[in-house]
Amino acid sequence: MYGTEKRVKNLIDAEEFNEEDKKGIEVPFFDLDSILAATDYFSEANKIGRGGFGPVYKVIFTLIIGIFVSDKFSG
């Protein structure tokens, strides 16, 4: 279980969780352009089901990692 999931489970188990709790859950924020790209503009091909709040889509995110190589110690 990840740290945030464990923290939420502990809050719920301890009955200390409420909707007004501003620091209770850390939720990542994604802008609309990222969501549209990740779901291929909510393509039917990426629709995997339906949840309590509506359709559920498979998402594909690209992780870009920048690497900096210093030549300070070379030559």
- pLDDT tens-digit map of 54-75: 999 998 877 777 776 666 655 5
pLDDT at 39 over 80: yes
* pLDDT at res. 1: 46
CA distance 59 to 28: 14
Q: Does this model's pTM top 0.75?
A: no
Q: Do residues 41 and 59 make contact, with C-beta atoms less than 8 angstroms apart?
A: no
pLDDT at 27 over 50: yes
Give 27-66 as a DSSP string. Answer: -----HHHHHHHTTTT-GGGEEEEETTEEEE---------
Q: What is the mean pLDDT of residues 11-30?
A: 66
